[in-house]
Amino acid sequence: MKYRRRNPVADAFQLNRDAEVNAPEWFLRAVKKEVIYFDRCIMDGAVRIYGCTINTGCGKLRAKVGDYIVRENTGEIRPYKSREFSSVFEGV
């Protein structure tokens, strides 16, 4: 799904436990390039995603399930908390 930052448009999606299956292609490419790592834990004998770590020029940024992951028009990928995301972006 695409979202518009008041200016300009950016790609974004909400991180969930099924991100390995239903994340957009740009996110999965970043995982493959090891720019993004899934944070996992074992619960009730199953491995579950509880978030991800994104390597940026400013260091490592972490996102939890429910946060939004945004690819800016510059190509930079960064996480936003739900409240912060809804105040900065609007659906297109």
Distance (Å, whole) CA 42 – CA 18: 15
Judged against a pLDDT cut of 70, whether residue 18 lies above it is answered with: yes
pLDDT in tens, 41-57: 998 999 899 999 999 98
Q: What are the extents of the domains in the chain?
A: 10-86
**Between 84 and 1, residue with greater pLDDT:** 84
What's the sign of the alpha-carbon dihedral 27, 31, 35, 37?
positive
Cα distance between the two ends of the chain: 8
Q: What is the pLDDT of residue 8?
A: 73
